[in-house]
Chain A
Amino acid sequence: MALIDLLTKKKSVIVSRWFDAVLESYPQETATFMKSQKNRFANPVGCTLAKEVEDVYSALLKGSGDTEITPFLDNIVRIRAVQDFSASAAVSFVFLLKRVVRQELGKEIKQNDLTDELLAFESQVDKLALLSFDIYMSCREKIYEIRVNEARSNVHMLLRKAKLICDDPDSDSEVG
């Protein structure tokens, strides 16, 4: 049996345990809430994490490319980029999948001599981590861009009054 078959067969338990592992990065009370509250408007973080780890896993099994997998990762990383995590902690959820797969399938992998396939799969997971880090950085850059834009918007009319913004709508040149 190939590793992909095992990963497919055990999809629901792997996804569930991966989700649990991700929740371990939150305090116990919060993890319980995020897991139990199923209304996605009352619990956007928990519901997003639950949905997207499954989407990411399915995409991995399908061998999807970066373009297809990025939106799923983005939904997770965008949240963790504004929560109180360091950059490494924010994207560390990706590596947890390796741990879960080894724990769940370790025995079968040994029995079926699938170590090479496991290494190939883990390389795919590493790639996801790099992708997640790119997304994390783009989120942080976006936040700083928003801060600058907001600072300008808050005093938009004052800048205009001080002639620091060009008054001619046909021109977008600015000074100062």
Chain B
Amino acid sequence: MTGSPNWYEIIMTGIAERLDKYRSFKLFLDICVRWGACADKCHFYIGSGDPKNMPVLRAELLRSIYRRDFTTAGKLFGKFAGGRKLTPLIIKEWFYYFYQCTECRRCSVFCPYGIDTAEITIMARELLNLIGCQIDWIITPVANCYQTGNHLGIQPHAFKEILDFLLDDIETNTGVKMEPTFNRKGAEILFLTPSGDVFADPGIYTAMGYMILFHYLDLDYTWSTYASEGGNFGFFTSHEMMKRLNSKMYAEAKRLGVKWILGGECGHMWRVINQYMGTMNEPADFLEVPKSPITGTVFDNASQIKMVHIAQFTADLIKNNKLNLDKSRNDYLKVTWHDSCNTSRGMGFLEEPRYVLKNVVNNFYEMPPNTIREQTFCCGSGSGLNAGENMDIRLRGGLPRANAVKHVHDKHGVNCLGCICAIDRAVLTASMDFWVPGVRVAGLHELVANALVLEGENERTTNLRGEEIADLMEENEE
């Protein structure tokens, strides 16, 4: 059924290798006592009602195989010790349920033992990958990213031409012409962002926001058309692939001779860098500890990875009064904030984006406490599940998040959901369209750039989306 006649041996060997290599995997398989604190915390369980989407039961799909063949109790007592023999049906079950986990780690926040069920999903997906059970939406972007530089496989000349389109739009809407550089050796900073910001609507408005901010600062930075992807779908494939795609970004930084890397608004790119890179790739010793050329702030927290998140970079600029912001330009928006799983739970990034947001909009409303910050609900489409054919699964997984947005939409008239993740920008747009029509999704730097007062700008009657601000204000008042 799997295409590999020796699929059973491949999986069993794969489990044995991973138990030996990753202590966390063995620990998480061993210590669960089925307390059940995680059971009702998963957005897929809450939205679907399928008990096998309870994190504890989802993990049990793999744990039961481990117990039978890799523990003494299981070897002696078999199913009486909770063991199951691996069958083709179980492989199908794995494929169905481990691709209904977005590795968001909300369940781990509630586990008294701190079991990170996402790690079990990661391993299960690795095992499935060994016998060729993978989804095209993940594996094709991985191949494209490795061979060409980004998920869609866009070649360098086309990548630049597309950014030129965005520069034309910036000039139309702001009256200011900007000329960023590409693959420029000797630049101080290499800027990397997920390619969704370059190709996909509404991510493109965030990409415009980056370029406007850098122009305002006269930042010595360069884009790369080779490391043209911050996203890392290798994270959803195997540890080896994650490492390979991550190292590509640093290889480009080395080739260009930059001092440090500035990263755009992405989710799992930052999780890989913060959670795994330290023990995965060689240290980026060829780079310098990031220092803002505008404020002089040294980002000690990035002394190992040599890469700074743009929300942190911008928060520092605002804190040091380096930006001329007119937040009334965003007055047609009533904004709430979605903490992206990877940046919030994965790296503790809670205050910086809110600080920036509060400085660029006048109307900000938080969602209920049990749906934000560490307890944030996943968009429902992370970890490579953002394909159109998964739309039903995505919508039920996205229900708890949308439900909280609906609350602030009904109560305060919220019409904008801000976030710092490219997948969020793409998939929450679909989720809002279904669950809470009338709420747009915007990246943080789209909102920053709309508020930023540029030298030589026109009257700024339109926002970066080309919409007439006066019309939007009028609509909002009605």
Contacts and interface: CB of A to CB of B under 8 A. Distances in A.
A143 B391 contact: yes
**Chain B binding surface SS class:** helix
A160 B50 CA distance: 42
A44 B399 CA distance: 8
Task: Count chain B CB atoms within 10 A of each CB in A45, A84, A143, A154 and give the residue with the most.
Answer: A154
Interface of A is mostly: helix
Contacts of A33: 39-40
Interface size class of B (residues with CB under 8 A): 35 or more
Interface stretch (A12-20, A34-42, A60-68, A119-127): A34-42
Contact of B434 (A39, A83, A143): A143
A151 B162 CA distance: 18
A27 B370 contact: no
Given A154-B426, A157-B162, A158-B199, A41 B49 contact: no
Contact of A83 (B49, B368, B429, B435): B49
A43 B198 contact: no
Contacts of A39: 370
Contacts of A26: 49
Nearest to B198: A157
A147 B399 contact: no
Contacts of B50: 27, 30, 84
A154 B200 contact: yes
Given A40-B403, A157-B199, A160-B165, A78 B435 contact: yes
A142 B162 CA distance: 30
Task: Give the residue among B39, B48, B196 with the most A Cβ atoms within 10 A.
Answer: B48
For the complex of A and B, 9 pairs with smallest distance between CB atoms: A44-B403, A156-B201, A30-B49, A153-B201, A82-B395, A147-B388, A26-B49, A157-B162, A157-B199
27 contacts: A27-B50, A30-B49, A34-B49, A42-B40, A42-B46, A44-B47, A45-B399, A48-B403, A78-B434, A79-B396, A82-B47, A83-B47, A84-B48, A142-B433, A142-B434, A143-B391, A146-B433, A149-B430, A151-B388, A153-B200, A153-B202, A156-B200, A157-B198, A157-B201, A158-B154, A161-B162, A169-B172
